[in-house]
Amino acid sequence: MSSQVSQQAALGVFDSGVGGLTVVRALRELMPNESIIYLGDTARVPYGSKSPDTIRRFSVEDTQFLVSHGVKAVIVACNTATAHALPLLQATFRVPIIGVLEAGVEATLADPQCERVGIIGTSGTIRSSAYQYALAMRKPSLQIHATATPLLVPFVEEGWTEHSALKLVLKEYLNPLLAKGMDTLVLGCTHYPLLMPILQKMLGKKVRLVDSASTCAAHTKRVLEDQNLLRTTRSKPTLDIFLTDLSEQAEAMAKRFLGTDFGKVKKATL
């Protein structure tokens, strides 16, 4: 597979919106030499409320766009798309396709002390049972409690990551999981890494947090190393951000998720 693509080619990353830029941020921190092309399908966000067939169709179109730009691997930075479309994408395209979910499962099970896992995510991700199934297959003794947390994405997109109202909402969502003795919390949405500071304050050291952005970046690095696809040239890496619907709000959110300015956002036509 690695003979088909160049080491120097960019990594492709897609998400239904701009939340996947937390994955881009983690990729750049871990592998600063890699070029990245990001596609946010902001015209059709959110994917979580769509049917599985529609999510699969959108995911194929998103991947096709990135592959047409010559990327050497595609990271599906959307938990819903990973849950519903990853096997199809891997069967359809010749470049490595990496999902956020597998990385999160690996990281969750890396701690042998892990016995009671809480999972939070969008309704679509939780309803798919993809995390629950993958964890239970690997460690049948695990106690798994999954909760859809649909109110969290709007808080993150509004930039209200320290707001008192957010704390109330988090308590409502997390108290039932804490009552079940949760020792690990899987953040099953790429928006949620921006909630890490408030979650760490609320949960303290008694609950381990597993976030999909940093775990996905680490998993991607391992795949690139295994397939000899790490970029070797020292010229400045590039970052191109494409959105299917350009708006001031989307650009402002993109800066918040990426944590830095990145020049001009381009319009993508799928």
Strand ranges (E), 155-204: 184-188
Residue 76: other Cβ atoms inside 10 A:
28
Under 8 Å between Cβ of 108 and 138: no
Give the active site residue among 103, 117, 189, 210: 189
Looking at residue 245, the DSSP 8-state letter turns out to be S
Percent helix / strand / coil, the chain, rounded to 5: 50, 15, 35
How is residue 193 annotated by DSSP?
G
Closest CA to 82 of 170, 173, 145, 19: 19
Question: What is the C-alpha separation between 67 and 120, in angstroms, rounded?
Answer: 31
Query: Residue 183: is it exposed, middle or buried by C-beta count within 10 angstroms (0-12/13-18/19+)?
Result: middle
The count of other CB atoms within 10 Å of the CB of residue 228 is 10
216 is catalytic: no
The length of the chain is: 270
78 is catalytic: yes
The answer to whether the CB of 186 falls within 8 A of the CB of 104 is yes
Nearest alpha carbon to residue 17 among 40, 44, 47: 40
Q: Of 5, 18, 76, 78, which residue is the catalytic one? A: 78
Catalytic center residues? 78, 189
